[in-house]
Amino acid sequence: MLSYRHAFHAGNHADVLKHFVLHQVLSYSNQKDKPYWYVDSHAGAGMYALDHGYAMQNAEFEQGIARLWQANDLPPALQAFIDLVRQLNPGPTLKRYPGSPNVAQLLLRPHDRMRLFELHPTDAKLLRQHFKPAGRQVLIEQEDGFAGLKALLPPPPRRAVVLIDPPYEEKRDYQRVVEALKDSLQRFATGTYLLWYPLLQRPEIKLLQEKLPKLGAASWLHATLSIQAPSEDGFGMHGSGIFVINPPWTLPETLNNTLPYLAQKLALDDGASFTLEHQIP
């Protein structure tokens, strides 16, 4: 299925959680001089307009990044992420929001590399246009990211940050992400992997959450952020989760200081909440 377009959801609460954690992981990876690869299994279009087009139809960013844009009480780590988004919005108005590849582009160093997968033909074309000036640093494939991962791991520098965030249009995606992580760990056990997923009232979510800590990774972190209570009719996404394998040892404390703020700032009702678990030797 190729109906999903992330532009409709750009900058929403799920993007804030996902990209904030990605920002933390990449910033930590930059502390070592040795180069690494950033790999994105479902890269999208790279950059999204918030003042016109698809993003304006549901305006989900108004319940996400827009609530943080003018805040003057942000935790330091979250302020650093907002400062990164401000690099793309030179004026006072929030007009553009970076997808995960663009978050990575703003953080990667000249000797690091990006490998991006996007199956949707329109988004793949937009992605290539956006990253054309980057030259050889960025390689883009119009391909299923699950299959693409197998060909890339382990990467030549033996360091990588891998983001897996399919649209979950199909039920089998919930099993495919588990299989992708399991296979990736066998090929490249020392990589850092970030898996994003939606919080929905579906049995697949509970099964996924049960399977992730059992993948056998020695070090992991699992965080969720809900902005409202699940709806009575059972429909709609009320939050999202992110599971990180081989996370920075600093990430639990950072999220302890940030998730309560996000749950309060992005809340739509009294059901807003967060969870945080980790096993880091």
Could you give the residue numbers annotated as active site?
165
For residue 270 the two structure tokens come to: 């009294």
Q: Residue 110: how many CB atoms within 10 A of its CB?
A: 7
In the β-sheet with 138-141, what is the strand arrangement from edge to edge?
A: 138-141, 113-117, 37-40, 160-164, 192-199, 239-245, 220-226, 273-279
171 Rama sector, left if φ>0, alpha if ψ -120 to 50, beta otherwise: alpha
Q: Residue 32: how many CB atoms within 10 A of its CB?
A: 9
Position 140, amino acid: I
Residue-level length of the chain = 281
| Closest residue by Cα to residue 46 from 114, 97, 8 | 97
d(CA 82, CA 225): 18
Q: In which element (H, E) is residue 279 found? A: strand 273-279
